[in-house]
Every structure is written in structure tokens, then in C-alpha cells.
Amino acid sequence: MGVDVLLMQVRREGTSPKRHHRSVLDSVPDYSDIFAELCENSGKPMLSRVDRYGSLLLTSLDMPQFIAEVDGLRGSVEAAEQTAILDEIGRLARRCGEGGNLELHLEGD
């Protein structure tokens, strides 16, 4: 059970959450459960909240901490597959941090 990471653009029409439209801009699939396992064993506050069976929505305001935790985790892994997925997730997180109308969705199976 992996945790896929989706960069979503949010278009708001009014103040009601029912009038918010989301579209996927980019994604990083976790086919081999690499990201899910890294999060479970990270010991980091935000990454520990990632649930391989649920969803976690992060906004651009959450990105400084999320990026710091992903970068810190990246420095402690050795396998090429782990480094590659953390690099891709970091790339999406940086894009999310640049725009107030972007969200990062961490979707478990």
C-alpha cells in the first residue's frame, strides 16, 4: 500500500468548499511502497502523519516544514530508488510552495 503524491491546482469560485475545483497538475506514484515506508520510519512530525490507508492534504503554508523533512530524510537514505522518489516529491513540494492556489495531496491506497 503506497502513498501517491499529487500536486493539485485549486480553482475557487466563491467561498463555499463545494465550489472549489481541483485538477491534478503532476504526480509521483508510490508503486513499491517506498515513500509510505520511509514516512512510517522517519520519526519526523509531518511525515509521521502520512497514512498509507488515508489522505493528507497539505497547502503551500505547510511546504517549508514538509520540504525540510523530505530533504532531511533524503540525506539519510542510500538506495537509489529511495533517493529518486524523495527527489521527485521534493520537486512537487517546491512547486506547491510557490503558489497559494496549489495543494499537495498524499493519497494512501
For the segment 38-59, what is each residue's pLDDT rounded down to a tens digit? 999 999 999 999 999 999 999 9
pTM of the model: 0.90
Written as nine digits, the cell of 104 is: 499537495
Averaged pLDDT, 10-19:
73
pLDDT at 21: 87
Bridge partners of 26, per DSSP, are: 7
Which pLDDT value is given to residue 99? 80
The DSSP secondary-structure symbol of 34 reads: H
Q: Is the alpha carbon torsion for 37, 40, 45, 50 positive or negative?
A: positive
CATH topology of domain 3-108: Alpha-Beta Plaits (3.30.70)
Q: Where are the domains of the chain?
A: 3-108
